[in-house]
Structure 1
Amino acid sequence: MTLQTIRRTRWRVGMVAGGAAALLMAGTVMAVNAQAAAGCRVAYAVSAQWPGGFTANVNVTNLGDAINGWSLVWTFPSGQQVTQAWNATVTASGGQVTATNASYNPAIATNATVSFGFNGSWTGSNAAPTSFALNGVACTGNVGGTTSPTASTSPSVSPTVSPSTSPQPGNAMATVAAMQPGWNLGNTLDAIPDETAWGNPLTTQTLLRHVRSQGYNSIRLPVTWSNHHGPAPDYTIDTVWLNRVRQIVDWSLAEGFYVMLNLHHDSWQWINTYPNDRTNVMARYRALWTQLTAAFRNHSSKLVLESINEPQFANSTDDQSYTLLHELNVEFVRIVRQSGGNNATRLLVLPTLFTNADQGRLDALNATFNQLNDRNLAATVHFYGWWPFSVNIAGGTRYDSNVEQDLIGTFDRVQNAFVNRGIPVIIGEWALLNWDHNRPGVIERGEFLKFLEAVGYHARIRNLTTQVWDAGQFLNRNELRWRDQGVYDMFKASWTARSGTASSDQVYVPRTGTITSKTLTLNLNGTSFQGLRQGSTNLANGTDYTVSGNTLTLTASALTRLVGNRAYGVNATIEARFSTGVPWQINVITSDPPTQAGATGTTSSFAIPTQFRGDQLATMEAKYADGTPAGPANWTPYKEFWQHFQPDYNANTILLKTEFFNEVNDGRVTLTFHFWSGAQVTYYITKSGTAVTGSTT
């Protein structure tokens, strides 16, 4: 029997983590031919609830003759909406919701139960449905039903988040669904050589409690073990370090998290030498996992183990690497399972090569799943977006079709490779590589928000669980506050609903001269536009703005009022509001084309005097006299923001970095600076050895 067959015949969705359950027991009659006995009961349970969202499980038990193909219909009494479902396809028409069988669970034998679950959104209250109908016939709870629905009503659940029972062993899909959304304690236990080495404070239970209160249901604990164990042959883990890891695991479980623990930077520190040092690497790998499985064998089933972070192998082809990773993953599963206790059925997470979602990587891991034939496994990949956008190189400044198609293609491949075969998927890390509070401006904020909104939506509709990588760039751990509240708000909204956006979050007007109307294109994303607001004041449709199709026009009179005395920079912020999700902020900015001046310096220190005049830098081109790209990444004229050049708005300079000059030939180079207002400024540098001069002509 194949793994796919085992998963499809054994799946039963159980309780998922969360707060108090609202349970509705009712009977539902099966629509069959006149001679067939029909009847069933439905158990509807809200097992987790938080402000604006909830998780529910539905169990349908067939009391009559066997059926093949089912459709369950109900109406939410409080206007709730299903945002993500598993083990069923869920659609809605008005307030009526229909759940139909998946391809692998259409049959329900007599006295058998089929189960599915979903995440939903709510406002006001979250009362349970009062009736169900299966295949068009209302419920009675007995064989031989009637057409009048009857059901008892359960109490609604207060919006609290507290630990509950875990899914039963074998419900890998339900476990992974319950882990959504997740958060990484990045650059901490994985930092080298110790927990605070990369700038983050010591982890506290208060921090974990705060993250949990923000709606996160799982926490990934990346741990680097390389510097914390003894020599061969025992590779004994340092007791102090193991106890510290165990403490954070225990704190996290106490807060109600699912916890994912791994071997992290070990992947490139020593596991990557496996091709040429198979005996020693495997011995070390076995020793670490043997000790870890012994340490955690009796921990809650909400502890999840991940074999290796971003596995990679030196001097190996892809095919060779697939074989090597297969060996390590299989050995990992063997060690954990044979250790007994809760490890016998614990959810184990296996990565692709490089934790990458290219098709070859997915196919290779699927072969491993087929061989292991273990129903308590999940796959993991990482996602940092289309690389030019993720780091701002090659002109990748906007969330455009390249970025979106890369996102959709990646998630489609993962869904087709694993989810559609009954293997759950965890996007164990995701973000953009160069979004960082220490490097402001690399990724424009509005473009980043569009990316966040899209990732949340496309993961949700494909039943992918996401764990955002946070190395301190999102949550300020010292102050327990989000560095950008709007970014977190978009994270949170995307878990349950879509948000509207626009072609830009900036509108520029000139410092002097006539102000004209400005247009933006609305990206409705399935929402409806509700209007514009400044603070608590609604702007007037027809006077302050007009909407034609997806085109939003801000009138000249409204812009004149909003910019006031036209001081350089942001003069006002307004919000476009939509029927769901978070509002879209639009900054109204006064600017003039930036100006620059001549300068001299060296390849180790060269700053271009720049008066930004209210504008912001988007990117920089560099070309030789013949038009070919100059400097590093010579396949594109657009250089990497911050790595090769960096604006300093306080000092009124743009710094050209040593990394840029290291790959620039002597002679004249034309630089073109692109600004977010649309302004472009041309500047010329001449390099002679280590000496550099710059001019505007």
Structure 2
Amino acid sequence: MYSQGLRRFRHRVGVIAGAVAALLVAGTVVATSAQAATGCRVAYTVASQWSGGFTANVEVTNLGDPVNGWSLGWAFPSGQRVTQAWNATVTSSGAQTTATNMSYNAAIGTNATVSFGFNGSWTGSNTAPASFALNNVPCTGNVGGTPTPSASPSTSSSPSPSPSTSPSTPPQQGNAAQTVAAMQPGWNLGNTLDAIPDETSWGNPRVTRELLHQIRTQGYRSIRIPVTWTDHQGAAPGYTIDATWLSRVREVVDWALAEDLYVMINLHHDSWMWINGYPGDRTNVKNRYTALWTQIASTFRDRSSKLVFESINEPQFTGTSGDAESDTVLQELNTEFVRLVRASGGNNATRLLVLPTLYTNSNQAQLDTLANTIGQLRDPNLAATVHFYGWWPFSVNIAGGTRYDSNVEQDIVDSFTRVHTTLVSRGIPVIVGEWALLSYDYTRPGIIERGEMLKYFEAVSYHARIRNLTTMLWDAGTFLNRNDLQWRDPGVFAMLKAGWTTRSATASSDQIYLPRTGTIPSKSLTLNLNGTSFQGLRQGNTDLVRGTDYTISGNTLTLTASALTRLAGNRAYGVNATIEARFSQGAAWQISIITSDPPIQSAANGTTSSFVIPTQFRGDQLATMEATYANGSPAGPANWTSYKEFWSNFQPDYAANTITLKPDFFAEVTDGTVNLTFHFWSGVQIKYRITKSGSSVTGSPA
């Protein structure tokens, strides 16, 4: 993970997100399945579609003789274009598009099916292709007969079966899978030994033995210790690691091992500080990289097998022609890393070594490259690593991504399924070396609503677990307070811990808003049972009475007007009571009973460096903000969406009763009128109008 503000990491994620640039509205559109041809049948499904982009899944069934090596061709009728593909290589020439097999799915037996998917762009309309051809043979859905329609594939949250073929150079079997499984669950000691230049530079205290003991007693079985070596390494040609720094790293590692934790160390921010220059300076960068790992390997060569080495954190490179060349560059460094660690002898001869994909992302091309690298190395003690920070609009709260919705869910399923199919199902274990949400931080409250975040945490844990992925939570002080060694939000940790072994139920919301005055009505929530059964409601140590305080019908939970009136008490603004829904397994679901009135805003004057809107929140909380010009087009940064990024563009202060529009917002706003719409979690929307003239800004309620 990149450091404070996530600036570098978010830039890279933003580039990826640019390929799916209009993430405003998500839906499911099923295209008419193509009528397949003599010898083959094709099912083409648009799994999701948004303004300017879509995701498609394609299933090809071979009805003729077995084939070994295939290409599927079609023409897009509406000018669509493929921007990213998985399980196939897709090329285009005008409207004509061709998907060709990967090394592991080249063979399709008679009546067997192969599938692939892609993200695409569209304008105007997104009409499905009318016909397909497999190896230049038109697909009509039957062998020498009348075409028959093919069924659209169903969406599944379960791992896909093992691929039809193995890689051409399959990895040898060893104990890597057992070691990686034993590392679940894992935790990151983030922003500490990786901080620049020193351990406490980014606000965390020095690591203590007590901290590591607490991590182990809380149930974690492994710890990733990111280490940045750049400022603790001498000049060429020796590149000697500072003895005091190396001793400190060794001390923390030994403490963790003494706590019976698996420990993973790496080269962390070195990845973007100097390793990224490798393509243009191979000799010097490789000498420095080799010197580092030679010294690290020598220092720890006799430590137990519970110590694990990770070659590079989030590798990235400058000066390449693109990801394909960067993949090749990374393969060189990963291969050199394995060679020199193995050559150092001792326990390093069989120590688990962890290799990342480019950027540690889970795109298909990067997964394929890493699978090939590990296959070629033929080393039984290798594992792969990727990182996961979720669907970008939700992870940073932009483009209206305030809720855990089908886009967020599908992104988890797709990413983890690709990882499972490409690596795990072939015997290559995978560590999700970092996972969380990009913008979630206790110092920036409100970016991600708590209940929506809990749904995400529950789902990530489940989908990783059923695919045999070991996960390591990124914690830079956000989850565990390292000063008192207590969880900042015990309910969040309860959800995380439950996810290690089981599912937890959630609900459509963890908030019930009530008016400040007037009659209080009954309110309903939809339960997401996730295989559990509802047991009851409780406030503190008191059980609420079924039939009197609440009713349950299927997955609909309704709190009665009388119960809500009692729970609201004197109806002061804000949270009046908290109740818990309890289930047959997993964590409880907390529900806040909140009293609010529509917020009130006042006129203001200011500048683009600091413009503050007086806002009486009156018990409500801000979900997001829209900004548009008079003609309705989006205003401000990310001009493909009217919904601006929470905190970086605007920031509420509930204690001060203000909302601040930040310089980053105004940096991309032209002079004139901008219409703002503030969306609150109660469902209320408030209009506000600002006028910018140079650096001066005025505003008033619309």
Question: Would you call these one fold, judging by a TM-score over 0.5?
Answer: yes
Is 1:255–2:259 an aligned residue pair? yes
1:430 to 435, 440, 445: 435
Whether the 8 Å CA contact 1:257–1:302 is kept in 2: the answer is yes
Per the normalisation by structure 1, the TM-score is: 0.76
1:138-194 Cα deviation digits (max 9, x unpaired) = xxxxxxxxxxxxxxxxxxxxxxxxxxxxxxx93111100000000000000000000
Residue aligning to 1:613: 618
Whether the 8 Å CA contact 1:394–1:636 is kept in 2: the answer is yes
Residue aligning to 1:294: 298
1:686 to 684, 688, 691: 691
Alignment-mate amino acid for residue 576 of structure 1: A
Within 5 Å, give how 1:455-470 maps onto structure 2: 455-470=460-475
1:344-381 Cα deviation digits (max 9, x unpaired) = 00000000000000101100111101110111000000
Secondary structure (helix, strand or coil) at the match of 2:390 reads: coil
**More divergent stretch after superposition (547-556 vs 183-192):** 547-556
Secondary structure (helix, strand or coil) at the match of 1:423 reads: coil
Alignment-mate amino acid for residue 393 of structure 1: I
Once the two structures are TM-superposed, the CA of residue 103 in structure 1 deviates from its matched residue by: 8.1
1:389 to 394, 398, 401: 394
Distance 1:590 1:328 in 2: 58
Residue aligning to 2:525: 520
1:530-583 Cα deviation digits (max 9, x unpaired) = 111111111111111111111111111111111011100000111111000011
Alignment-mate amino acid for residue 279 of structure 1: T
Within 5 Å, give how 1:419-498 maps onto structure 2: 419-498=424-503
Residue aligning to 1:601: 606
Alignment-mate amino acid for residue 214 of structure 1: Q
Once the two structures are TM-superposed, the CA of residue 315 in structure 1 deviates from its matched residue by: 2.8
1:564 to 565, 569, 578: 569
Secondary structure (helix, strand or coil) at the match of 2:551 reads: strand
Alignment-mate amino acid for residue 198 of structure 1: W
Secondary structure (helix, strand or coil) at the match of 2:316 reads: coil
1:93-127 Cα deviation digits (max 9, x unpaired) = xxxxxxxxx989xxxxxxxxxxxxxxxxxxxxxxx
Within 5 Å, give how 1:86-105 maps onto structure 2: none
Distance 2:552 2:681 in 1: 24
Within 5 Å, give how 1:242-641 maps onto structure 2: 242-316=246-320, 317-641=322-646
Alignment-mate amino acid for residue 206 of structure 1: E
Distance 1:680 1:237 in 2: 57
Secondary structure (helix, strand or coil) at the match of 1:379 reads: strand
Secondary structure (helix, strand or coil) at the match of 1:193 reads: coil
Distance 1:209 1:370 in 2: 37
Secondary structure (helix, strand or coil) at the match of 1:668 reads: strand
1:47-81 Cα deviation digits (max 9, x unpaired) = xxxxxxxxxxxxxxxxxxxxxxxxxxxxxxxxxxx
Residue aligning to 1:68: none
Secondary structure (helix, strand or coil) at the match of 2:586 reads: coil
Distance 1:633 1:103 in 2: 40
Distance 1:695 1:582 in 2: 45
1:295-331 Cα deviation digits (max 9, x unpaired) = 1111100000000000000132111101100000000
1:444-499 Cα deviation digits (max 9, x unpaired) = 00011111111111111111000000000000001110111111111111101111
Once the two structures are TM-superposed, the CA of residue 403 in structure 1 deviates from its matched residue by: 0.3
Secondary structure (helix, strand or coil) at the match of 2:329 reads: helix
1:659-690 Cα deviation digits (max 9, x unpaired) = 00010000000000000000000000000000
Distance 2:234 2:541 in 1: 62
Whether the 8 Å CA contact 1:623–1:629 is kept in 2: the answer is yes
Whether the 8 Å CA contact 1:385–1:406 is kept in 2: the answer is yes
Whether the 8 Å CA contact 2:222–2:263 is kept in 1: the answer is yes
Secondary structure (helix, strand or coil) at the match of 1:633 reads: coil
Q: Which runs of 4+ in 1 moved over 3 A?
A: none
| Coordinate RMSD, CA, aligned | 1.1
Within 5 Å, give how 1:55-134 maps onto structure 2: none
Whether the 8 Å CA contact 2:384–2:430 is kept in 1: the answer is yes
Distance 1:241 1:170 in 2: 34
Residue aligning to 1:157: none
Is 1:653–2:658 an aligned residue pair? yes
Residue aligning to 1:237: 241
Distance 2:561 2:255 in 1: 56
Whether the 8 Å CA contact 1:672–1:680 is kept in 2: the answer is yes
Secondary structure (helix, strand or coil) at the match of 1:201 reads: coil
From the CA coordinates, give the structure whose radius of gyration is larger. Answer: 1
Alignment-mate amino acid for residue 520 of structure 1: L
Distance 2:415 2:324 in 1: 21
1:220 to 224, 229, 243: 224
Distance 1:345 1:696 in 2: 67
Whether the 8 Å CA contact 2:162–2:421 is kept in 1: the answer is no
Once the two structures are TM-superposed, the CA of residue 605 in structure 1 deviates from its matched residue by: 1.0
Per the normalisation by structure 2, the TM-score is: 0.75
Alignment-mate amino acid for residue 259 of structure 1: V
Distance 2:450 2:701 in 1: 30
Residue aligning to 1:94: none
Distance 2:427 2:236 in 1: 40
Is 1:193–2:197 an aligned residue pair? yes
Whether the 8 Å CA contact 1:346–1:376 is kept in 2: the answer is yes
Q: How many residues align?
A: 532
Whether the 8 Å CA contact 1:170–1:345 is kept in 2: the answer is no
1:206 to 207, 210, 218: 210
Residue aligning to 1:644: 649
Secondary structure (helix, strand or coil) at the match of 1:219 reads: strand
Distance 1:609 1:208 in 2: 45
User: How much identity, in percent, do the aligned residues show?
Assistant: 73
Structure 2: gaps of 5 or more residues: 1-160, 164-172
Whether the 8 Å CA contact 1:190–1:223 is kept in 2: the answer is yes
